[in-house]
Amino acid sequence: MYNTFGTRCASTFLGVYSINLLLTDYLNFKRVKKQNFCFVIAIVFFGMQQMISQTIVQGTSTMSRSDLAFAAKAGFNLSSLGGDSRYDYAAKPGFHIGGLVEIPFSDEILLQPEALLSFQGNGAYFDDDINLLYLSIPLIAKYNVWDALYIEAGPQLGLLLSHNIDRETYGNSYINDPDVNSLDVGLAIGAGYRLDENFYFQIRFNPGFVNVIEDFKSKNRVMQLSACYFF
**Cα distances (angstroms) measured from residue 74 to each of 47, 85, 167:** 22, 32, 33
* pLDDT tens-digit map of 201-211: 999 999 999 99
In the 8-state DSSP scheme, what is residue 28?
A: T
For residue 130, with 0-12 CB atoms within 10 Å meaning exposed, 13-18 middle and 19 or more buried, which class applies? buried
The pTM assigned to this predicted structure is 0.74
Helix/strand number for the chain, H first, E second: 2, 9
**Cα distances (angstroms) measured from residue 93 to each of 45, 121, 186:** 28, 8, 20
Q: With CA atoms as reference, report the closest residue to 156 among 140, 144, 170, 142.
A: 140
Region 168-197: mean pLDDT is 80
* pLDDT tens-digit map of 14-67: 555 555 555 545 455 555 544 444 555 555 555 555 555 555 555 544 555 568
* pLDDT tens-digit map of 122-171: 876 455 688 999 999 999 999 999 999 999 999 999 999 998 887 655 54
Write down all domains in the chain, each with its CATH number in brackets: 2-230 (2.40.160.20)
> Which sign, positive or negative, has the C-alpha torsion 93, 13, 19, 219?
positive
Q: Per mean pLDDT, which range of 102-111, 112-121, 164-173 is the poorest?
A: 164-173
